[in-house]
Amino acid sequence: MAAVETAKVVPLTCHGHSRPVTHLSFSPAVDEEQYYIVSACKDNNPMLRDGITGDWIGTFIGHKGAVWQARLSSDATIAATGSADFSARVWDTKTGETLHNLPHNHIVRAVAFPPQPNPQILATGGAEKKLRIFDLSRGGSDNGTNGTNSPASAPVDTSANSTAPSYEIGPGVHEGTIKSIVWSPDSHILITAADDKKLRWWDLRTQSLIGEYLLGGLVGSCELDSIPLAESSSHGTLSVAAGKNVYFFEVDKPASLLKHIKTPYDIASVALNGKDRKFVTGQSGDTWVRVWDYDREVELEMGKGHHGPIWTCGFSPDGRLYATGSEDGTVKLWKFTKGPYGLWR
């Protein structure tokens, strides 16, 4: 059993953030077996790291408020972030420069790229309660930052805003802050998770709502799993944490629930490894990451090391490790495979 060994292995701790980590996500595998991880933090400074070793690659400098979510494109060439400074930004991951500064009228909590390499559109959502789609192929901004090579005190010109046009999907439908957006591998389906306790499926071709599901609590996390369940007939599995519940859906089949598990804990984040049929959770009420058996719906083990609630978690694209981000300001990488891997030699 792969997960049993992981409890005996010390996790890798990634330092650098100075405030709580709010979100992390892996890129797909690029350049053979290489992949990357990006983390969002309340210290305003999202970070890019090597996904296998956790080694720091760079910090994106420019936001003036807490960064709530960060994602990488499928080829890891660009990153997107949503911030409390009422903006979303798109970054060049090689140079660290801002490619687009996208102003909003309220806090941006969610960003998502389509699954194609070098994406030309970006979805955003947040306290505006609007699902917006930006056309990145038109307009751009260079606000004078040079990101990964800049000290945190580098001067930032925030006057240059991107002219990338946008349009809204489903005006007036969301009744709460949009906390997460997932872009289906099907590329024309988007899923939003909002504080009105609803998951919604949207068809971009018709810009219409095609399904919704009422959750049993406020959403903690909503993510597309790196490794979906084998029996899932869709393009992937969607994992959702809400209250004391975890839910698993087929991502591109509206409201197609695969499993609902009620737990004794307030679940803040969840991520599934469909191949090993196990999932991990972080809780808002303790500092441990828990590993569960998907089929038996039982807790298998606890991973100890964080000193605050675990707000975000995710599996690597090969499923051989998972990452957690905590209130304590650290990201930890946990081995989830037998034998040596990465720095676990």
Category of 127 on φ-ψ map: left (φ > 0), alpha (ψ -120 to 50) or beta: alpha
pLDDT digits (tens, 9 = 90+) for 36-74: 999 999 999 999 999 999 999 999 999 999 999 999 999
Q: Which stretches does DSSP call E strand in 11-155?
A: 12-14, 21-26, 36-41, 47-50, 56-59, 67-72, 78-83, 87-92, 98-103, 108-112, 121-126, 131-135
Strand partners, 194: 178
**Cα(306)–Cα(328) distance, integer angstroms:** 7
Asked if 217 and 243 count as a contact pair (C-beta separation under 8 A), the reply is yes
Written in H, E and C, the secondary structure of 196-233 is CCEEEEEECCCCEEEEEEECCCCEEEEEECCECCCCCC
The percent of residues above 70 in pLDDT, for the chain, comes to 90
Asked if 116 and 187 count as a contact pair (C-beta separation under 8 A), the reply is yes
Q: Kindly state the tokens that stand for 90.
A: 């798109």
- Catalogue all structural domains in the chain, each as residue range(s) with its CATH number: 2-335 (2.130.10.10)
pLDDT computed for residue 209 by the predictor: 98
**Cα(80)–Cα(238) distance, integer angstroms:** 20
H or E stretch at 6 = helix 2-6
User: Given a cut of 90, is residue 132 above it in pLDDT?
Assistant: yes
The model carries a pTM of 0.90
User: Given a cut of 80, is residue 3 above it in pLDDT?
Assistant: no
The percent of residues above 90 in pLDDT, for the chain, comes to 84
Category of 145 on φ-ψ map: left (φ > 0), alpha (ψ -120 to 50) or beta: beta
pLDDT computed for residue 294 by the predictor: 97
Q: What is the mean pLDDT of residues 320-334?
A: 97
Of the listed ranges 96-100, 197-201, 232-236, the least confidently predicted one is 232-236
pLDDT digits (tens, 9 = 90+) for 186-205: 889 999 999 999 999 999 99
Residues sharing a CB contact under 8 Å with residue 8, sequence separation 6 or more, in sequence order: none
